[in-house]
Structure 1
Amino acid sequence: MARVREFDTDRAVEAAMNAFRRKGFEGTSVQDLVDATGVGRGSLYAAFGSKEGLYLAAMDRYRERHALPLVEVLRQGAPGRELLREALVAAVDEIARDGSRRACLIVGAAMERIAHDPQVAAHVRSTTELLEDALAEVVAEAQAAGQLSGKRGARDLARYLVVTLHGLRVMGAIAPDRDALMAVVDVALDALD
């Protein structure tokens, strides 16, 4: 008879995600994950197969918590320029509220794991493409409505905004100063014209 899992998998993934955000993949030991989740080593391995399996589950959770809500905001259909500002401000507000200076898991994965882990590379690519596609739609609509210049292609501007979002998260981990991050938002929006 199979043994019943005796812990809340969702809570364990959430705790692991936060541990990986604080220390990265390499810096987070299995003992750190045991301490963060409150789940024994054997149970973590039974549920996720490996530290890498738990990391991928944490990346999925990060996408659910951070990327998908942003995509939903972008698909609200409000006027394009205002919607782009709202999305960037929402990111700044989240960074400023965090206070613990946790890193962006997608940026961390791109820097630490993407070169030698195809599963992580695929995850980072798919999350980035999801954001880029949603931003490109909003930019194209804003250009068609005359709210943004058509000097640059919508896809190029969407990539620029993805870089801006990732940069905001990196800068927020360094110094979560809302005013400084909002100045970046203003410059980024001005650069769209």
Structure 2
Amino acid sequence: MGRRRAFDEDEVMHAAVELFGGRAYDGVSVDDLVTHLGVHRNSLYKTFGSKRGLYLIALRRHVADDVRPVADALSAAPDAAAALQLVTAADLGLLLLAAVERAPADEEVAAEVATALAALDQAIADALGVPPELAAAITAAALGIRLRGNPDGVGAELARHLDPLG
């Protein structure tokens, strides 16, 4: 009979989302994972298979725990300004990094990112009653603002211009 797991998988996943969301896949070594997650190297490989395996599970967890709730909240947004504020204030770091770093080189990551972005687009389209193309543009603008790190400055100005859409 094998030994009992000496770590909480939920805690490890939360820490992995935080680590990958702050430094991206290529910026995190296996040694970084072992140190930051507090999991022995052998346990990491036995549980997750590889660094990439852990990354995919962390990305899926991020989508479920962080992106989905934003999409749900967006569905109830009263106007474009509120929708923009929700997206720019959300913790979507891992999704953004996955979109620019891993998705172009990894089909599985690309599929996860596409699904998450489609959920955000659909929620914005539903909330604002706008065509899917405009919803995708609003999502892209909001994520771009988030990526630039200025949600209050540029985001507030864009939100004022989007108000007539609501």
TM range (shorter): 0.7 to 0.9
Greater Rg, structure 1 or structure 2? 1
Residue in 1 that maps onto 2:152 = 178
Residue in 2 that maps onto 1:7 = 7
- Secondary structure of 1:26's match? coil
Partner letter of residue 7 of structure 1? F
Once residues 98 and 55 of structure 2 are traced to their aligned partners in structure 1, the CA distance between those partners, rounded to angstroms, is 10
Residue in 2 that maps onto 1:91 = 87
Once residues 110 and 16 of structure 1 are traced to their aligned partners in structure 2, the CA distance between those partners, rounded to angstroms, is 17
Unaligned runs of 5+ in 1: 96-102, 141-152
Partner letter of residue 11 of structure 1? E
1:177 CA displacement: 6.3
Assess if the C-alpha contact under 8 Å between 2:99 and 2:110 holds in 1.
yes
Assess if the C-alpha contact under 8 Å between 1:157 and 1:192 holds in 2.
no
Residue in 1 that maps onto 2:108 = 119
Partner letter of residue 152 of structure 2? R
TM-score by length of 2: 0.87
Q: Does 1:154 align with 2:111?
A: no
- Secondary structure of 1:4's match? coil
Identity among equivalent positions (%) equals 35
1:180 CA displacement: 4.0
The Cα offsets for residues 19-72 of structure 1, whole Å up to 9 and x where unpaired, read as: 111211011101111111111111111111110111111111221232111111
Once residues 91 and 167 of structure 1 are traced to their aligned partners in structure 2, the CA distance between those partners, rounded to angstroms, is 10
1:191 CA displacement: 7.7
Residue in 1 that maps onto 2:94 = 105
The Cα offsets for residues 74-104 of structure 1, whole Å up to 9 and x where unpaired, read as: 233x64x2xx322322334446xxxxxxx72
Assess if the C-alpha contact under 8 Å between 2:74 and 2:86 holds in 1.
no
Q: How does 1:129-148 map to 2 (within 5 A)?
A: 129-140=118-129
TM-score by length of 1: 0.76
- Secondary structure of 1:39's match? coil
Unaligned runs of 5+ in 2: none
**Displaced runs of 4+ in structure 1, greater than 6 A?**
none
